[in-house]
Amino acid sequence: MLKKRKLIYGLEERVARYRNMTNTTIQYLQDAGNIVFVDRLTISVVEQQPIETASPEGVVKAAQRLASLFRPYDIPTVFRQLGVMSL
């Protein structure tokens, strides 16, 4: 019983925190044609062929270097360094 309480403690805040991001992601995927709504509560993934060149050459290496630069910092500090003032 105590374990269940730990799992649901703060659930309302967590749901509220991720609601906007989830809604935005679902809207983006629907606009891109990657998902379709089957009925009110069901989403179906549209079959698509993988894109051969999903990102420009060198992006992975640049991302790895950026990650090594930000590794010693916590997430809020990284966002502030990138110019994001509020999360």
Residue 51: which of 75, 34, 69 has the closest Cα? 34
For residue 42, list its beta bridge partners: 39
Eight-state DSSP code of residue 38: E
Task: Determine the Cα–Cα distance for residues 55 and 62; give it in Å rounded to an integer.
Answer: 12
Task: Determine the Cα–Cα distance for residues 62 and 56; give it in Å rounded to an integer.
Answer: 11
Task: Determine the Cα–Cα distance for residues 27 and 6; give it in Å rounded to an integer.
Answer: 32
pTM of full prediction above 0.85: no
pLDDT digits (tens, 9 = 90+) for 24-82: 888 988 888 888 898 878 889 888 766 565 667 788 888 899 899 889 998 888 888 88
